[in-house]
Amino acid sequence: MKIAPIMRAMTHRGGFEQTLVHTGQHYDDNMSNAFFEDLELPRPDLNLEVGSGSHAEQTALVMMRIESIIAQRQPDWVVVPGDVNSTLAAALTAAKLGVRVAHVEAGLRSFDRSMPEEINRVLTDHIADLLFTTSAEANDHLRREGVDSAKIRFVGNVMIDTLVALLPKARARWPELRHRLGLHGRFVLVTLHRPSNVDGADRLSEIMSALNEISVAVPVIFPVHPRTRGRLQDGAATVAPGVRIIEPLGYLDFLALETRAALVLTDSGGVQEETTYLGIPCLTARRNTERPVTLAQGTNRLVASDRRALLEAAREALEDHDRPHRAPPEFWDGRTAGRIVDTFIDIQWKTNEP
């Protein structure tokens, strides 16, 4: 979702030679191959096929397999998005080979080092040569950590570029999707995958108990991440009939559901951003968020991952029919990729000055 708009903008402007490397960190077909089709991305030039594994295994395999690619191709820039293990691994490898690194979605901070993503974000930001930020507070975080302001570019949220571009297609899928899922009114959409929520039986049981009770009044649609499905199959929690467990969805189908949901319950950073843009109430089952702009300027709310807190917050959100419309945060306008490409063009022009 973050790379597709940038590649399209570079192709449109011309003058860029691009190599798309898929690390294969997501190995489920619905969570990987389907996304290339939905996002209209070209097939990857290279697939590292890293697959699953521990954090150390994934990071090490990406570094080992991408090193020769970078060394052979000698790119001017390696562009890394987000905060996953692949982000840090590719950035670290490029930096050690003397190749400049651009980090898309830089400066986000949850200030919770128990989250692997936080470690990936911080380290990537401190070895990157160019940092593209989504919000003003991300700039502040970087400056407080001693990052040179000359490296920072506030360009906005490239995830919203993808949402804006594909929203018409997603909406066109709604009639078929509604029929297939048997939806005739309001529903709650759920997505959970973080280890803190799904790995422990007690925490997952609390969340599922809340969803079971919510589903008595409003159907719950739950596209289940492979990690979460495994825990449920192991008997970590019971699932009521009103909670519809379905396979992972491609981007367009998920966005179609997201635009029609009465409420979204998630622990995903990207979903917090999408619901903020769409104006859909969102409960984030986490103690903190690296995207505080979604709390201050959006529809997002942090909620403890326990039955009572989730039930209370869900009931409040579902009963609030007079939510004021809020404008999206600054630069969440569908044109972030253009600003990113402008930056590369400007840097190259200055580099070639006599």
> Which are the catalytic amino acids?
193
Helices (H), the chain: 3-13, 33-38, 55-73, 85-96, 116-127, 136-144, 158-181, 195-198, 201-217, 226-233, 251-260, 269-278, 293-296, 307-319, 336-351
Whole-angstrom distance, CA of residue 92 vs CA of residue 86? 10
d(CA 210, CA 91): 40
- What's the full length of the chain, in residues? 354
Cα of 267 vs its chain's centroid, Å = 10
How many other CB atoms sit within 10 Å of the CB of residue 320? Answer: 10
Residue owning tokens 């066109």: 172
